[in-house]
Amino acid sequence: MEKARTGSTRIMTPVKPGVIALEYTDRWSAFDRGSSGQTIPGIGAARCACAVKSFWLAEAANLPTHFIRQVNPLTIHVQEFSVPGRETLSGMVYGRVLPLEWIWRVRVAGSLLIRIGSGEIDPVALGFPAGTKVVEGMKLPRLRLECTTKFEATDRHLSDKEARNLAQLSKAQWEASWHLITKGVKVTNAGYHEAGFECPDGKLELGMLNNGRIIFVDVFGTQDENRIIEEKTGASYSKDLIRSYLKDTPWKKELDKAKKEYP
């Protein structure tokens, strides 16, 4: 059994059978590159605070999560779930992490706009009337949900059928997953709105308990998972700020080149 596991922005350690600690650091990552090796002072505590607030909002709405408690400004305790290809940290798990990332959107932004522009996605399929000129920031007629792979080297968009088959979910479990995601987005976005922020899009992850129940795992509603914008000024308060800074740099061009040469 491992003593600890270091991720790109967090350190995971066993607490007792079935429970692990997630300790936030001030490191950052972008574009699936792993840890940058650089730090942003205070970002770890900010991420932790947003994660804890999101868990509280979810639990107040009777939405199940694997959150147990906050230990200090940088650390939370959560139930451990198994991850494919990895040894358990605590020696016991409550269930398994589903191999999907659930991407939700309420506005047109980022990669969705790119996919619309390339013709990959028809605006009509998003609920827009035929002939609508779709631009950045436009509110979607309805919440858009889609899945990508979680444990592959590069995130891959999946059809609903592909996602359900990959996650090995029954029809009832699949419907429960979508219901949980929809309610989770609603309650966390309401919390951000109350604080003066808007979240155009974000991602969530789910797990399946050993009894088959679907719950929220990992963390959600943080600056890494959500695109967060101050409503009055339009200022960015999420990892999107880092991505925007890096996207036109020589470093990003070299990274894209390396990913193509060594997929």
Fold held by 5-261: D-amino Acid Aminotransferase; Chain A, domain 1 (3.30.470)
Global confidence as pTM: 0.89
pLDDT at res. 263:
61
Give the count of beta carbons closer than 10 Å to the beta carbon of residue 66.
Answer: 22
Residue whose tokens read 């970002």: 43
pLDDT at res. 2:
63
Domain ranges of the chain: 5-261
State the 10-residue block means of pLDDT for the chain, 263 residues long: 81 97 90 75 95 96 98 98 94 97 92 90 92 91 95 90 97 97 96 95 96 96 92 90 80 78 68
pLDDT at res. 53:
96
Residue 109, amino acid: A
pLDDT at res. 1:
57
Distance, in Å, from the CA atom of 103 to the CA atom of 144, rounded to the nearest integer, reads 8
- Cα 143 vs. chain centroid, distance in angstroms? 16
